[in-house]
Amino acid sequence: MTLIAIGCQSTPKTTFSTDRPSLHSVATGHFVINSDVRLDQDNVLVKELEELHDQVYDTLQLPEQRDPVHVYLFSDEASYRFYMHTTWKDLPPRRAYFVGTARELAVYSFISPQVKEDLRHEFTHGLLHATLQSVPLWLDEGLAEYFEVDASTPGAAHASHLRELRMAESEKWNPNLYRLEMLTDFRDLTTRDYAESWAWVHFMLNDSDESAKVLLDYLTVLRSTKTPKRLMPVLEAAVPSYFNGMQTHVLKMQPGHPIVGTAVLTGGED
């Protein structure tokens, strides 16, 4: 991936400041991007986030978001790292973050070769939290991983997660949705947990109408409760073969196997 062109002006020099980017802003009906460099309304990043908004809401059948998502885009990595380290001292270093507070839903990142992927991931978090009363950690990350894949190919396989799951299978690992549902601190998530969370989401959205309905109905519940019940018992009742079904679904996405889809779909870590 090449660097995103952000207009014709030169990139500002690195500035070590606890101020967020504010020189320029571009707003849509769903988000505001604040940056140190100028972004036009037709910039590829603006268009991609608008398309991602539509993809997320159409795929998950969500009602319109309550609050806009604010994106703070630093011009360089050093400025971003300095701001995040001084402002959010307890967060481990990553290329991008979503931080939701009572004041605003904010995404922080910087211009890099991975900026589109990073923004797709964190912006998905923002959209979920702008719409739902609560989002269990595994599902929050699973959906963000699902939608961070190139938006031009809805439901595409996540290559790095498939590699991780292939390695896991060689180590006699088994998926465990019950354990994932017990996790509440993102700092406890491993690379394998991210991969498994993505796999459960991909399986439910794409394997069958029954599995998709379980997830979509669960998202409907999350619109109105902050203390949701676990999803696994519902999935088990609706799709008794869910365990083997998820493993088979992942196997079919491995190289040499076709991706199985249904009519349901229309559409960062360091």
Q: Which two tokens stand for residue 203?
A: 């399986």
Percent of the chain with pLDDT over 70: 87
Label residue 13 by pLDDT band (50, 70, 90): low
With 0.85 as the threshold, say if the pTM is over it: yes
pLDDT value, residue 19: 86
Place of tokens 């059948």: 61
Higher-pLDDT residue of 7, 103: 103
Residue 269, pLDDT > 70, answer no
Of residues 260 and 46, the one with the higher pLDDT is 46
Q: What CATH architecture does domain 24-129 belong to?
A: 3-Layer(aba) Sandwich (3.40)
Sorting pLDDT into bands at 50, 70 and 90, what band is 44?
A: very high
**Per-residue pLDDT for 187 more than 70?**
yes
Dmax (CA) for the chain in angstroms is 58
Q: How far apart are CA 166 and CA 27, in angstroms?
A: 42
Give the model confidence (pLDDT) of 202-214 as tens digits.
999 999 999 999 9
SS3 content of the chain, % helix, strand, coil (to 5): 45, 10, 45
Give me the chain's average pLDDT, please.
Answer: 87
| CA atoms of 145 and 194, how far apart (whole Å) | 8
The pLDDT of residue 108 is 97
Domain spans of the chain, in order of start? 24-129, 137-253
